[in-house]
Structure 1
Amino acid sequence: MFGSLGIYNYRLYASGQIISLVGVWMQRVAQDWLVLELTNGSPVALGFAASLQFLPVLLLSMWGGVLADRMDKRKLLLWLESALGVCALALGLLDVTGVVQLWHVFVLCFLLGCFSAVETPVRQSFVVEMVGRESLTNAVAINSMMFNLARIVGPAIAGVTIVAIGTGWVFLANAISFVGVVGGIWLMRTSQLLRSDPVPREKGQLLSGLRYVRHRPDLLAVMLLVFFISTFGMNFYMTLAIMARNVFGGDADAYGLLSTLIAVGTFAGATLATRRKKPRMTVFIGSGLVFGLLEIVSGVMPTMLLTGLMMIPVGVAMMTFNTTANATVQLAVEPEMRGRVMGIYMLVFLGGNPVGGPLMGWLGEINGRAPIIVGGAVSMLVTITAWIILRKRGDIPPLGRKPADESAAPSSPTRSQPSLHR
């Protein structure tokens, strides 16, 4: 079940990642809460902050994929992870010294988004160089488990820490956590990396990646459905904060609790994914439909406790959907296209947030429950539509079908959602 951890380089990577991911989730809760504090609980401001952080995905994620195909991924990651840590350090120092203003948060959200947009496809396409083709599927599941374990621990710690000593120290703790991931990458044995040959710099490489996906109906179907569900249905970084504060009148620890409970579900979903040998159409479509239905039910629960309990099955369905989509994309591309395809995937996974964030924030101003209910309804609608279209198109290949070139290596594994983006 944890075979990839027997590989020295991946073990270093995983050790650093789990420390850093806890810090990232702590910062995510603290950042959302800081925006609410600075704006007297404005959902629109929270949505705008999210848009600034995700907007760079539209501009830079595909270029990050191009860089991943062209350059030494390990060296590139060292610089990018360090830059992410500096952003956390800057926000922490501004906060603990009492000079932080809303525009400071907005600027750092944008800078963080820029670095993350490039880092994510590079990191995802690097994992296969550590573990090789044979251990790739296992590494995909372990990455998801680490991400969601951190998602359980991070918000819980952040909620208690914010109440006790404030948001600033959470940002500083996240800055320190990047020492783990940077150190792990630095200490790797480069001779044991299974590197693919860098793609020579040529004109039109970005467009060639888009054409590649356009001519792969299986990848195109997955990415379109991922775009709509992630844009409108997976805004929990914002919808849970609105529910905790504006619907149930809770504090930061209430938001942390809701975030932790959905993370329990996503961790369970990631664990189940380790036993799944290959992605299937029925699992992909079914999980999208169930996710939307459960999200609607969670949005109408009368108490915060019941809402939190509903977050557990919502998390299971969400992670099942995400891991199936990720496995399909990563196991179906040629090595020379790996970075670019993952850059496109991150574009569709996170690129809709500049639209979805403000829209959900506007709905939250009208009714605190509206964003999560509407998000679930949209998820159900697009999943049903996709199912009807795929049923009619008998020429759509099954999810996860290998490329014509059987010798092609699969792509690399990932963290759910990034994202966060980590």
Structure 2
Amino acid sequence: MTNRGIFRSLQVRNYRNFFWGGTVSNIGVWMQRTAQAWAVVVLSHGDGLALGIATFLQFFPTVLLGLATGALVDRVDKVRVLIVTQGLVGLGSVVMAVLDGLGILTLVQVWVLAGAMGIVTAFDIPARQAVVSELVGPDRVVNAIGLNSASFNVARLIGPAIAGLLIGVAGTPLIFALHAISSAGILIALSRIDRSELRQVPRSPVSRGQLVAGLRQVAGDPVLATVIVLAGVIGIVGANSLQVVLPLVATEVFDVGAVGFGLITSCLAVGGLTGALLAASTSGMPRYRWVIGAAAALGCSLVIASLMPVLVAFGIALVCCGGMFMSFAVLANTSVQLTAEPALRGRVVAVYLTFFLGGGALGAPVLGMLAEHVGPMRAIGLAGTLGLLAAAAAGGAVAMMVVRSRPVILANSPGTIPGIVYERDTEVVDH
């Protein structure tokens, strides 16, 4: 069986089931997110802060519970965790569809349901991220993470466009119902995974200090810590926060309604898909300069997007934003997973996600308020400026660390691919 090619992880049957089931589910997720954002716009009469609160409630539980859920994921069967969480997500959409269909859905109810789904997601995301290495093994993990991101962005391309069209025809209740149905896709896929073919990793026993073990590993690696902090800032200015501003851009700047909102969200996804596929074509430990460079390019793209005077030009700029954001996300995620000790991977990933998604949770209401006070386009420009400053600071910090010491990660170090010697910010050399 060949281990080359951009789709090489799909040669693994367990991962193939997970990938296709996840793709169906992700399309429903993006349809639901689009419908939820539009419902908030309608219920709040275009209040940017209300949009930001809904996004904050979806992501903040991951910040609050991230270390605990990461420790749990390291101790239990990750596939079973995902079956439970995906079932609960589908149930949440059923409730929203019923309330909306009866015409009794309120803004507060949307916030409560967003928060409830956020709590479920706090368990789902570290399990979903950490299970990849068990499905494909370390030699394919970079490729598998990239393909997961590509799947997510195919869904982000298709889902909002479908949702935008259906909202105009049948309203948001249908979208929520379709999301509930799509959740069955990942549940079927998870039920078909052959546990005997999973790559076993050491299970972490219950012990004192377990919750902070991931933090200790991050604190002991200054370059890794810098990447994770940078991920937090990119989370503030990235695609998750940008979703708060785009409905206002559609309605207040270009006046294109729900269909236009779906289309410009799809532009962001086109770039994300391209960036994910490019990242998936790489192998081995990404150089840290690539991670920081992607962050800087995202900042530039956001500033350029904020200056675009017409919808077509803005859409093209969003393609660049999506590409750079997803390139950063895949490269940073890969660096974290390959550096983490296998027994701590769930907790180290949870630390990364706490910063990355926590940044999105913080950035959503902040960008929403900025959009209300200075306008959505200026808010995007300010977000890009922050991203550029953060990338410059991270680049300077890593450069100083490399000058002081160039630690080599040997082939038998935890989390690395056998047969390769890695030296940070130098060429990858065959051992």
**Short-chain TM bin:** over 0.9
Structure 2 equivalent of residue 394 of structure 1 = 402
- What runs of 5+ residues in structure 2 fail to find an aligned partner? 1-5, 418-431
Unaligned ranges ≥5, structure 1: 411-422
Q: Which amino acid aligns with 2:80?
A: K
Matched, 1:238 2:227: no
Q: Give the aligned partner of residue 80 of structure 1.
A: 85
Counterparts of 1:309 and 1:111, CA distance in 2: 35
Q: 1:135 pairs with 129, 132, 140, which one? A: 140
Q: For residues 395 and 67 of structure 1, do their structure 2 counterparts lie closer, same or farther at Cα, with a shift above 3 Å needed?
A: farther
- Calculate the TM-score normalised by the size of structure 2: 0.91
Is residue 96 from structure 1 mapped to residue 104 from structure 2 by the alignment?
Answer: no
Counterpart in the other structure of 1:126: 131
| Residue 388 of structure 2 corresponds to residue 383 of structure 1 | no
State the percentage of identical aligned residues: 35
Contact map agreement 1:270 1:319 (CA 8 A) in 2: yes
1:256 to 256, 262, 266: 262
Out of 326, 334, 342, the residue aligned to residue 335 of structure 1 is 342
The 2-side partners of 1:212 and 1:195 are apart by 21
The C-alpha deviation readout for 1:160-196, integer Å capped at 9, x for no partner, is 0111111111011011111010111112111111222
What SS is found at the alignment partner of 1:393?
Answer: helix
1:30 aligns with 2:35: yes
Q: Which structure 2 residues correspond to residues 3-402 of structure 1 after superposition, within 5 A?
A: 3-234=8-239, 235-277=241-283, 278-366=285-373, 367-394=375-402, 402=409
Q: Residues of 2 paired with 1:395 and 1:323: CA distance? A: 26
Structure 1 position 129, deviation (Å): 1.2
Q: Is the 8 A contact 1:334 1:403 kept in 2?
A: no
Q: Distance in 1 between matches of 2:404 and 2:367?
A: 33
Name the Cα RMSD after superposition: 1.7
Q: Structure 1 pair 403/229, CA: closer, same or farther in 2 (3 Å)?
A: farther
For the 8 Å contact 1:331–1:402, the answer to whether it is kept is no
**Secondary structure in structure 2 of the residue aligned to 1:9:** helix
What is the CA-CA distance between 1:6 and the residue it aligns to? 1.6
Q: Following the alignment from structure 2 to structure 1, what is the Cα–Cα distance between the partners of residues 286 and 104?
A: 49
Structure 2: which amino acid aligns with 1:332? Answer: T
Cα displacement string for residues 50-109 of structure 1 (whole angstroms, at most 9, x for unaligned residues)? 111111112112211111111111111111111111111111111112111111101000
Q: What SS does the aligned partner of 2:366 have? A: helix
Aligned AA for 1:385? A
Question: Structure 1 stretch 205-214 or stretch 312-321: which is displaced more?
Answer: 312-321
Q: CA deviation at 1:398?
A: 7.2
Shift of 1:270: 1.1
Q: Say if 1:232 and 1:138 are closer, same or farther in 2 by CA, change over 3 A.
A: closer
Asked whether the equivalents of residues 156 and 257 of structure 1 are also in contact (C-alpha less than 8 Å), the reply is: yes
* In structure 2, C-alpha distance between the alignment counterparts of 1:402 and 1:149, rounded to whole Å: 35
SS in 1 for 2:376: coil
User: How far did 1:197 drift?
Assistant: 3.0
SS at 1:351 equivalent:
helix
Do the aligned partners of 1:217 and 1:397 also contact (CA within 8 Å) in 2? no
Quote how far apart the aligned CAs of 1:392 are. Answer: 2.6
Structure number with the bigger relative contact order (C-alpha 8 A, sep ≥ 6) is 1
- How far apart are residue 405 of structure 1 and its match? 4.5
Q: Number of residues paired by the alignment? A: 409
Comparing 282-291 with 80-89, greater Cα deviation is found at: 282-291
Name which of structure 1's ranges 295-304 and 278-287 shifts more when overlaid on structure 2: 278-287
Question: Offset of 1:228 from its aligned partner?
Answer: 0.9
Q: C-alpha displacement at 1:151, in angstroms?
A: 0.9
